Amino acid sequence: MLAIRDCRGIRATCVRLVCSRMAVRSDSRRLTAPHTFVLKRFARRPLSALATLALLIWAVTSVAAPWVAPYDPIAQDISNRLTSPSAAHLFGTDELGRDVLSRILYGGRISVPAGFAVVAISGAIGTTLGAIAGYWYRWLDDILMRLTDFFFAFPPIILALAIGAAFGPALYRSVVALVIVWWPQYARMSRGMVRVLKKREFVEAAYAMGATDWRILMKTIVPNAIRPIFVMGVLDLSNGIVAVAIFSFLGLGVQPPTPEWGAMIASGVALMDKWWVSLFPGLAMVFVIMALNLLGDDMRDVLDPQSSRR
Amino acid sequence: MIFVVTHMIPTDPATVMLGDKATPQVIRAFRQRWGLDRSVYEQYALYMRNLARGDLGVSIRSGQPVTADIADHLPATVELAVAAMLFSSIVGTSLGICAALTRGRWLDGIIRLTSLAGVSAPVFWTGVLLIVTLFYYLQWFPSGGRLSLTLEPPPHITGLYTVDSLLDGNWRLFIDSVKHLILPAISLGAYYMALFVRLARSSLIEEFQTDYFRTARAKGLTTERVLVHHALRNALVPIISYSGIAFGGLLSGAVVTETIFSWPGLGRYAFENALTFDFPAIMGVTLIIGLMYVAVNFMVDVLQVVADPRLRDTL
């Protein structure tokens, strides 16, 4: 009994050894420990630093919005409606006399996290389902692939809008509607990666040494598959934010008077000469999205060097 | 499949269409009229039978056959999507080539910055900005619609106003319809233009580093000549393959663009019907858009083989 247990222990160490060796060897450039390597390469990129700074500005201002914002974002002041940018109202006021700057600051608490949520939830669901289907079940794999085929046959936003319209307008409902059409791409990606990795020698070695399925999945496949998926997710964040904003822009997402960037831009559409109502929320959005894109690009170069050549 | 999705949703078109004040009798009559009182399976069988005959049912909202509604709205969207596609691929690819040729210099920097901004700007915001600057302040272009209100649409031949007016020989109409097309097409295509810039730039730069490129330069050909005769063709493959995906994105973006520019296309039609739970119309539009999407992707596959004969074996 004892001998068997010992045997298993040795086997496990062997598995661990082989896995770590192989993982390192699969990316020959990674000579230092992975984390310092990543940080070092990041530090060498000035644009990444700028982008991180931009995101920090967003994070700080939206967390501290109640203290930073000069006015109440919902309080109406009809006598001061649609005033152009001035010292009192840096970004002007909207059609109900609300301060645009304050609404942008508060809006950052909704627009950006909602977009993050869409990507994070879809990523988690899609990756898990894809990995399970790719590793274990043929029948699940077949079902999953037909299901994703269906989703890929339609432009996602139109499908999401149809579902979202049926759910009725509300922020969390639009997030759910978006997740429904969003997860298949992650399922496809993770399924594909798992199926490729499954045939690699180090996974077969682990299998040959008697590692359990769970162990193989968690110790050899997931660590190798997670980076490209993570990079894809980061690059996808901007799409998530825009998608949520489209919902609000069309009146399906966040409901008034809650400040949200997409809805704020929509309220400026009819007010041609009052350009500040839609210009500034849009700029805020471009600011965050640009930072995310820059960061995502650099992250791809650093974390997933194979795909960055494309 | 779309049938399942639309019917899984726990809302009742009857209450939405008739309002809260409708009496139970009216609601019952409404349901009977539209077959909503039958079981889901019966509804499905009926729908499939009609679909096989090319009948998409009757729109609950407009009372017209869905096929007729789609025929009314489809040309506008096709015109817009094709214009946006042409704009984004032609302008995007040429800017990308410029950037690749001047790599590392100021022009490259400017183009890359513009493309980064283009990728980051949401489609509805660029639309609003274009309207405010080019319509309201500069008055160069009209803000919405397909034609000026004073003009009659051209005789219906293809449904594309630009093509129809040309076929009709009506220049004034043609110029007017093109003017109306420019702003929506730019705002819809801006994002993909920026993507095409990045794609063209990076794939050309990759070509510049290949052995054949170096050989061609070494034997005395100018960069421009190698570019036109050899590199461009290779670099086009990823661009073409991406345009299939881009087309799907354009159709999605059309929902928003059409709303801003009051463009009477399929996107806006789909959106308005989605708001009133007009099941036949939603299903019809999703089906047509899905078909278009598949057809365009097929065309992309064919184009790809034309650009890269090596792919012929994979067919």
Range with lowest mean pLDDT among A120-124, A126-130, A299-303, B82-86: A299-303
- Chain A residue numbers with beta carbons less than 8 Å from the beta carbon of B271 are 161, 165, 250
Interface test with A, best of B275, B282, B287, B288 (most A CBs within 10 A): B275
Residue A216, beta-bridge partner list: none
Residues B102 and B223 both lie in one domain:
yes
pLDDT at B312: 67
For B202-247, what is each residue's pLDDT tens digit? Answer: 888 888 888 888 888 888 877 777 777 777 777 787 788 788 778 8
Residues B249 and B201 both lie in one domain:
yes
Residues B185 and B103 both lie in one domain:
yes
Predicted confidence (pLDDT) at residue A121 exceeds the cutoff of 90: yes
Domain range holding B16?
2-52
pLDDT at B61: 67
- Chain B residue numbers with beta carbons less than 8 Å from the beta carbon of A246 are 122-124, 255-256
* Cβ-contact B173, B163 below 8 angstroms: no
Q: Is B128 on the interface with A (CB under 8 A)?
A: yes
* Whether A168 and B286 lie within 8 Å, measured CB to CB: no
The encoded tokens of residue B266 equal 């399929």
Facing A155 at nearest CB: one of B11, B119, B252: B252
* Whether A168 and B11 lie within 8 Å, measured CB to CB: yes
Predicted confidence (pLDDT) at residue B149 exceeds the cutoff of 50: yes
CA separation for the pair B199, B95 (Å, rounded): 11
SS3 B242: helix
Determine what percent of chain B falls in helix, strand and coil, rounding each to the nearest 5: 75, 0, 25
With CA atoms as reference, report the closest residue to B192 among B202, B200, B181. Answer: B200
DSSP B65: B
* Whether B6 and A245 lie within 8 Å, measured CB to CB: no
- Chain A residue numbers with beta carbons less than 8 Å from the beta carbon of B289 are 154-155, 158
Considering the domain boundaries, does residue B48 fall inside one? yes
* Whether A286 and B117 lie within 8 Å, measured CB to CB: yes
* Whether B238 and A310 lie within 8 Å, measured CB to CB: yes
> What mean pLDDT value characterizes chain A?
77
Q: Choose from A84-88, A129-133, A222-226 the range with maximum mean pLDDT.
A: A129-133
Residues B18 and B95 both lie in one domain:
no
Considering the domain boundaries, does residue B58 fall inside one? no
Residues B157 and B249 both lie in one domain:
yes
pLDDT at A23: 46
- Chain A residue numbers with beta carbons less than 8 Å from the beta carbon of B238 are 310
Residue A144 to chain B, least CA–CA distance (Å) = 14
Residues B142 and B291 both lie in one domain:
yes
Considering the domain boundaries, does residue B70 fall inside one? no
Predicted confidence (pLDDT) at residue A257 exceeds the cutoff of 70: yes
Q: For position B117, which CATH number holds?
A: 1.10.3720.10
Predicted confidence (pLDDT) at residue A180 exceeds the cutoff of 50: yes
Considering the domain boundaries, does residue B174 fall inside one? yes
Nearest residue in B to A146, CA atom: B1
Q: Choose from A59-68, A175-184, A255-264, B245-254 the range with maximum mean pLDDT.
A: A175-184
C-alpha separations of A78 from A84, A260, A273 in Å? 14, 20, 18
Range with lowest mean pLDDT among A201-215, B18-32, B244-258: B18-32
Burial group, residue B104, by CB count within 10 angstroms (0-12, 13-18, 19+): exposed
Residues B279 and B183 both lie in one domain:
yes
* Whether B271 and A165 lie within 8 Å, measured CB to CB: yes
Predicted confidence (pLDDT) at residue A220 exceeds the cutoff of 50: yes
Residues B19 and B137 both lie in one domain:
no
Residues 6+ away with beta carbon under 8 Å from A279: A268, B129, B132
Q: Which of B36, B52, B68 is the last residue of a domain?
A: B52
Segment A52-60 shows an average pLDDT of: 85
- Percentage of chain A with pLDDT > 70? 82
**Confidence at B265, pLDDT banded by 50, 70, 90:** confident
Residue B165 to chain A, least CA–CA distance (Å) = 31
Residue B173 to chain A, least CA–CA distance (Å) = 27
pLDDT at B31: 58
Residue A93, beta-bridge partner list: A99
pLDDT at A118: 93
* Cβ-contact B265, B80 below 8 angstroms: yes
Residue B294 to chain A, least CA–CA distance (Å) = 7
Predicted confidence (pLDDT) at residue B281 exceeds the cutoff of 50: yes
pLDDT at A63: 82
Considering the domain boundaries, does residue B307 fall inside one? yes
- Chain A residue numbers with beta carbons less than 8 Å from the beta carbon of B121 are 282, 285-286, 289
Segment A29-51 shows an average pLDDT of: 65
Burial group, residue A56, by CB count within 10 angstroms (0-12, 13-18, 19+): exposed
Sign of CA dihedral B88, B91, B94, B96: negative
Within 13 Å, how many C-alpha atoms sit on residue A24's CB side? 12
**Residue A51: alpha-carbon gap to chain centroid:** 16
**Confidence at A4, pLDDT banded by 50, 70, 90:** very low
Q: Is B195 on the interface with A (CB under 8 A)?
A: no
* Whether A272 and B131 lie within 8 Å, measured CB to CB: yes
Segment B60-67 shows an average pLDDT of: 72
Residue A172 to chain B, least CA–CA distance (Å) = 16
* Cβ-contact B252, B286 below 8 angstroms: no
Residues B188 and B109 both lie in one domain:
yes
Residue A69 to chain B, least CA–CA distance (Å) = 24
C-alpha separations of A168 from A156, A165, A253, B3 in Å? 18, 5, 9, 19
CA separation for the pair A238, A293 (Å, rounded): 7
Q: Is the ipTM of this complex over 0.85?
A: no
Residues B149 and B101 both lie in one domain:
yes
**Confidence at A125, pLDDT banded by 50, 70, 90:** very high
For B102-145, what is each residue's pLDDT tens digit? Answer: 887 888 888 888 888 888 888 888 888 888 777 777 777 777 77
CA separation for the pair A181, A164 (Å, rounded): 11
Facing B122 at nearest CB: one of A155, A165, A242: A242
Phi, psi of B65 (to 5 degrees): -60, 140
Considering the domain boundaries, does residue B65 fall inside one? no
> What mean pLDDT value characterizes chain B?
76
With CA atoms as reference, report the closest residue to A233 among A59, B113, A225. Answer: A225
Residues B112 and B29 both lie in one domain:
no
pLDDT at A200: 83
Considering the domain boundaries, does residue B62 fall inside one? no
Residue A156 to chain B, least CA–CA distance (Å) = 7
- The count of other CB atoms within 10 Å of the CB of residue B166 is 17
Which DSSP string corresponds to A226-249? HHHHHHHHHHHHHHHHHHHHHHHH
pLDDT at A162: 75
CA separation for the pair B79, B185 (Å, rounded): 9
Sign of CA dihedral A43, A47, A50, A56: negative
Residues B37 and B104 both lie in one domain:
no
For A164-175, what is each residue's pLDDT tens digit? Answer: 877 777 888 889
Burial group, residue A16, by CB count within 10 angstroms (0-12, 13-18, 19+): middle
With CA atoms as reference, report the closest residue to A256 among A23, A76, A57. Answer: A76
pLDDT at A37: 62
Residues 6+ away with beta carbon under 8 Å from A114: A171, A174, A175, A240, A241, A244, A253
pLDDT at A117: 93
The encoded tokens of residue B177 equal 């319809």
Within 13 Å, how many C-alpha atoms sit on residue B63's CB side? 2
When divided into structural domains, chain B yields a total of 2
C-alpha separations of B84 from B79, B80, B146 in Å? 9, 6, 15
Range with lowest mean pLDDT among A217-226, B7-16, B204-213, B234-243: B7-16
- Chain A residue numbers with beta carbons less than 8 Å from the beta carbon of B277 are 165-166
CA separation for the pair A281, A264 (Å, rounded): 7
Considering the domain boundaries, does residue B68 fall inside one? no
